[in-house]
């Protein structure tokens, strides 16, 4: 299954939304890379196993399941999470891209690729819609947490 959506970060026409700049948004995404615990419900720990210039290998401990992923970074542009297939997880990927179609208009594009059926039957279709909804809510929560970090001065 492929699933992607946009979340608008800034709306210069709405003064009620606190504006974030590209650097703040990037720093928020780096927080998710370095310590995914606040960003992923049920995650007990996030351990960085290996670090290179633009790649990290992590171990994500969800208690009953431990998942390994590779995080690839293109500074201030995108972050890609590739879950390594294992007995507890079939693998998949998430790419989060910062988009700025016009100055001061920032968006995050979340693009998922999973092993779920691309041509599902009716039973699978309901499950896939549930998964898409859960991904979307998780991404809304991610943006909310980045805003909280920025408001608290933890990202500049």
156 part of a folded domain: no
65 part of a folded domain: no
Domains held by the chain: number: 1
55 part of a folded domain: no
Q: What is the DSSP string of 27-68?
A: HHHHHHHH--GGGSTT--EEEEEEE-SSEEEEEEE-SS-EEE
Q: pLDDT grade, residue 43 (50/70/90)?
A: very high
Element (H, E) at 122: helix 122-151
CB atoms within 10 A of CB 30: 15
Instruction: Report CA-CA distances (Å) from 48 to 26, 68, 104, 131.
Output: 19, 10, 33, 27
Could you tell me which of 53, 89, 58 has the C-alpha nearest to residue 71? Answer: 58
Predicted pLDDT of residue 79:
98
pLDDT in tens, 89-134: 889 999 999 999 988 889 999 999 998 877 767 678 888 889 899 9
CA distance 135 to 91: 15
Q: pLDDT grade, residue 12 (50/70/90)?
A: confident
Q: pLDDT grade, residue 138 (50/70/90)?
A: very high
Q: pLDDT grade, residue 66 (50/70/90)?
A: very high
34 part of a folded domain: yes
Residue 96, domain extent: 2-40+71-151
Lowest mean pLDDT among 5-9, 48-52, 91-95, 149-153: 149-153
Q: Could you tell me where the beta strands, DSSP code E, fall in the chain?
A: 2-8, 45-51, 55-61, 66-74, 78-83, 92-102, 105-114
Mean pLDDT of 63-90: 94
Predicted pLDDT of residue 13:
82
86 part of a folded domain: yes
58 part of a folded domain: no
Mean pLDDT of the chain: 92
Predicted pLDDT of residue 52:
96
pTM across the whole model: 0.93
138 part of a folded domain: yes
53 part of a folded domain: no
Q: Is the pLDDT of residue 139 over 80?
A: yes
What CATH number does residue 114 fall under? 3.30.530.20
């Amino acid at each position: 299954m492929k699933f992607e959506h946009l979340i608008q970060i800034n709306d210069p026409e709405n003064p009620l939304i606190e504006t974030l700049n590209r650097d703040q948004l990037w720093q928020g995404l780096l927080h998710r890379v370095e310590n995914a615990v606040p960003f992923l419900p049920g995650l007990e720990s996030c351990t960085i196993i290996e670090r290179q210039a633009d790649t990290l290998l992590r171990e994500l401990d969800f208690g009953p399941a431990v998942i390994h992923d590779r995080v690839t970074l293109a500074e201030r542009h995108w972050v890609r999470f590739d879950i390594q297939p294992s007995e507890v997880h079939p693998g998949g990927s998430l790419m989060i891209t910062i988009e700025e179609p016009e100055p001061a208009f920032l968006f995050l594009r979340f693009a998922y690729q999973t092993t779920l059926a691309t041509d599902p039957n009716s039973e699978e279709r309901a499950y896939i819609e549930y998964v898409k909804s859960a991904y979307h809510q998780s991404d809304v929560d991610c943006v909310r947490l980045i805003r909280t970090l920025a408001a608290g001065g933890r990202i500049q």
